[in-house]
Amino acid sequence: MPSMLRVAAPAVLTLCALGLVRAQASSAVAFVGITVIPMDRERVVPGQTVVVSDGRISAMGPVGEVRVPEGATRVDGAGRFLLPGLAEMHAHIPGGQAPDAAVARVLFLYVANGITTIRGMLGHPRHLALREETARGTRLGPTIYTSGPSFSGTSVPDADTARRMVVAQKQAGYDFLKIHPGVKRDVFEALAAEADRAGIRLAGHVPLDVGLQRALEARYATIDHLDGYVEALLRPDAPLKASDTTWFGVNLADHLDERRIPDLVAATRRAGTWIVPTETLLEHTTNEMDPAEMARWPEMRYVPPEQIAQWTEGKRKLIATPGVTVATRRRFIEVRRRLIKALHAGGVGLLLGSDAPQVWNVPGFSIHRELALLVEAGLTPWQALETGTRNVAAFFGTLTERGTVAPGKRADLLVLDADPLASIANTARIHGVMVGGRWMPRAEIDEGLKRYEVGQP
């Protein structure tokens, strides 16, 4: 990253909070006496000094054996834990005519919560420029991967349109193709064939007309939300058909055959398809928590009241849907959690994502809720963290650069005030975040967060 001129500290805070620039520290940063959770395998390494310079981890070893460069910024690691930055693998970034301040706000909320990589799942041409700006360090934000505008029943009404759209997005430089509901089978076949020729992968939803089996045959890069899995579990003698599905199959939950789960797991693994469960999205909309209580969550201070009102009304309408009883919703959540556990146990790669800033998911904050739900589904805290660190680098083919803590790796790091392996809730106890070697201590994070509370000028 290019170095930046030094400016007065208050100006740096203001600019960084706005996301307009990311200053590159002129000196090294050393985390001294810290416990490292490298995420290369399940282990902790206490009493370490980790030195970062020029955006990379330059040294790591026991205190007393690693020299702290003269003039380095020292971060006291006593009682603290260092691990790779997290990822949000089903993220959204403002597009269209959204003001730059709205973009900066979302990117800052991600970073403030320890998220150093995002995968934008509803792309826009302006996101290509954002991807380059965050990569160069001229804008504060996570590393960005992005789809182009989505393929839906509206955007690709016929096969020729789908083919042209695939070619255009590949030429534009998008990282993958986002599939939305509503794509018809013949249109899907055309776009999948064109994507194969162009060498660009599909990701996202499984259109009802396509179905899970065909999506796996097409070797989706990721299936998000577990879309299509509940419908694939529907009993042949069920009184409802897959085409009757509502909200990812919540109304089908009483008519499923869980004996099919091993076959679905095996098919997913054979396809090499990764899963982004976004469990927060599905549980927050169907669980028994009162939306009025959810509206009082601390992170809702970053959400406009009218948005919270829409989310509240939406949940109340969903849980009042005829045939969707409390027992049905409980069953829906139970089956989804069993699917997550079975997919992980069966060797299918899981990736951390929450679908922020969609319903009840505030950018950044929702990832910590997603981690907690993965643990409730049966993963250990380490396994849950793996979905947002090492697995992400493995998925993108960047393990030599990212995803673990080791000398030579890009310095995207998260420092916590408590052990996340003892309790996954501790991932929210953030002491500081490092993005590409730029250290953001808690005071700077709090300064930026205060700026983005609703009602602040």
**Is residue 296 classed exposed, middle or buried when 0-12, 13-18 and 19+ CB atoms within 10 A define those classes?**
exposed
CA 242 to CA 229: how far, in whole Å?
11
Q: What is the mean pLDDT of the chain?
A: 93
Q: Is 388 helix (H, G, I), strand (E, B) or coil?
A: coil
Domains and CATH numbers, the chain: 26-85+403-436 (2.30.40.10)
The 10s digit of each residue's pLDDT in 424-453 is 999 999 999 999 999 999 999 999 999 999
Q: Among candidates 376, 378, 283, which has minimal Cα distance to 332?
A: 283
The 10s digit of each residue's pLDDT in 295-330 is 999 999 999 999 999 999 999 999 999 889 999 999
User: What per-residue confidence (pLDDT) applies to 353?
Assistant: 98
Instruction: Name the pTM for this structure.
Output: 0.93
The 10s digit of each residue's pLDDT in 232-253 is 999 999 999 999 999 999 999 9
Q: Which tokens belong to 253? A: 């939950």
Looking at residue 410, what DSSP letter applies? B
Query: pLDDT confidence of 4, banded at 50, 70, 90?
Result: very low
Rg from Cα positions in the chain:
22
Q: Span 49-70, mean pLDDT?
A: 97
Q: Render 420-443 in DSSP notation, one character per residue.
A: TTT-GGGGG-EEEEEETTEEEEHH
User: What per-residue confidence (pLDDT) applies to 25?
Assistant: 42
User: What per-residue confidence (pLDDT) applies to 457?
Assistant: 56
Residue 263 CB partners (closer than 8 Å, separation 6+): none
Percent of the chain with pLDDT strictly greater than 90: 92
Say yes or no to pLDDT of 13 above 70: no
Report whether 355 contacts 225 (CB < 8 A): yes
User: What per-residue confidence (pLDDT) applies to 158?
Assistant: 98
The 10s digit of each residue's pLDDT in 194-232 is 999 999 999 999 999 999 999 999 999 999 999 999 999
From the CB of residue 345, how many other CB atoms can be counted at a distance below 10 Å? 12
Q: Span 97-125, mean pLDDT?
A: 96
User: What per-residue confidence (pLDDT) applies to 416?
Assistant: 98
The 10s digit of each residue's pLDDT in 149-200 is 999 999 999 999 999 999 999 999 999 999 999 999 999 999 999 999 999 9
The 10s digit of each residue's pLDDT in 367-425 is 999 999 999 999 999 999 999 999 999 999 999 999 999 999 999 999 999 999 999 99
Helix (H) or strand (E) holding 292: helix 291-294
The 10s digit of each residue's pLDDT in 357-374 is 999 999 999 999 999 999
Q: 177-179 and 202-204 as β-strands: parallel, antiparallel, unpaired?
A: parallel
Q: 115-120 and 86-91 as β-strands: parallel, antiparallel, unpaired?
A: parallel
Say yes or no to pLDDT of 338 above 90: yes
